[in-house]
Structure 1
């Protein structure tokens, strides 16, 4: 879809941002100064600036120095305002978690379980340690296999290749939804949970029409929200599937992609 610069810049009321590969550079582990300034200017104009991430609510310290109006975390499973008001919370079906843990006892599979207050892994394998290093987050503790809380998991990270995902989900976690931003693992949430749903929750909370929204992303778990908002922007470092889902492709994170796109659409 082609969206012209002058179509609706005056109508945009909320902009949603992925974190890793969108706000934060994978190369530097930092948010470019141009991006920080752009977010500040949006809020000064009265535009809501909201995070939309697969990270847990307790893994946002890399962006804690920036003011936001809300947080879509766990890919839409946990939505909370800056005043800590939880507006949406959705767990994974406990039966799916029980099947996952049983499966991993019999087959070589690494996973993490993400809760409101903690993240646990089943094994500190090289791929797991490497993933957490990639996003600059400490490796979570290994859980006690005899005392796994299966009733309150908001998201799981399943370390399997894309070609094995469909069969695994159908067999082990049929009531859940998988998405991914890396070939290393899939983010798994409760059935129907996506960043799009998080946007719907925040639009309802703030009384904003979804036709007045914009979103930035770079990973597969961003596709639902890029298609849903009025203007979906893919970062230049996104893969082709994400770019195809977007209305506009901007420059990479380190090339001031967020600032460029906001200027392109007349929001700065």
Structure 2
């Protein structure tokens, strides 16, 4: 396979840039990003995290940020290129459901993250991600029109019926069995890629992306060269153009070298 000329590379955070073991970016990945930037190749973060939860990787000087799984795209200079909130009807239905049934969920807006009903398992998940547990949500005082993403702590088996019955105008994706990322219908990292390709005048034929979770599938399928980390979920590896080594074994560096991008 002849390697395409790459002009933009998109990176997921958890399990791709950041190791779940060290909670840090490896020296080889730091060097890879620096070399890409020195060559004039755009480096763009692409994550399901909130815009308020990425400060620890901003030192890498990305050229742009796709957050909330594509729902909030912002340039390096801080210009908002896209902001898309969840249908308020779905948020109202979620809140009403939670008043009647046990349910853990988080709500993410531009300014903050709040959470309802923290279990020990959920607290452990935040520790695994090296993130603080969000403050409790005040269900009676949520602005339903302000929510960019919610995490619903339900099993994969429960997800389909829950989404159809409670949040039919939204889309669920997941990178862990513990919860589903819920975003506006039609929203995904793929949309964020198109936003930045247009912003920088780059054709999709010159794009590459790295990911490991279910919410990375649309991204890896959309770019010209979709790379799954060695630690990626099986369904992610199945759709990738190439499977590299895992996040703790220089996977990003090795793939960029393999395709002669560096």
How many residues matched? Answer: 262
2:171 to 161, 174, 177: 177
Query: Contact 2:10/2:43 (CA < 8 Å) preserved in 1?
Result: yes
Query: Contact 2:171/2:187 (CA < 8 Å) preserved in 1?
Result: yes
Structure 1 residues 40-62: Cα deviation after superposition (integer angstroms, max 9, x where no partner): 00010000000000000010122
Provide the residue aligned with 1:128 in structure 2: 122
Query: Contact 2:16/2:211 (CA < 8 Å) preserved in 1?
Result: yes
Provide the residue aligned with 2:206 in structure 1: 212
Deviation of 1:128 after TM superposition, in Å, equals 2.2
Provide the residue aligned with 1:59 in structure 2: 53
Provide the residue aligned with 2:150 in structure 1: 156
Q: Which runs of 5+ in 1 are unaligned?
A: none
Is residue 2:87 matched to residue 1:88? Answer: no
Cα distance in 2 for partners of 1:191, 1:178 equals 8
Instruction: Give the secondary-structure state (helix, strand or coil) at the position aligned to 1:58.
Output: helix
Deviation of 1:170 after TM superposition, in Å, equals 0.3
TM-score (norm 2): 0.98
Which of 185-194 and 59-68 deviates more? Answer: 59-68
Deviation of 1:26 after TM superposition, in Å, equals 0.5
Is residue 2:214 matched to residue 1:230? Answer: no
Cα distance in 1 for partners of 2:186, 2:58 equals 29
Is residue 2:8 matched to residue 1:7? Answer: no
Cα distance in 2 for partners of 1:59, 1:252 equals 23
Provide the residue aligned with 2:242 in structure 1: 248
Deviation of 1:30 after TM superposition, in Å, equals 0.8
TM-align CA RMSD: 0.8
Provide the residue aligned with 2:13 in structure 1: 19
Q: Which runs of 5+ in 2 are unaligned?
A: none
1:117 to 111, 118, 128: 111
Structure 1 residues 92-118: Cα deviation after superposition (integer angstroms, max 9, x where no partner): 000000100111111111000001110
TM-score (norm 1): 0.96
Give 1 or 2: higher helix fraction: 2
1:201 to 195, 198, 205: 195
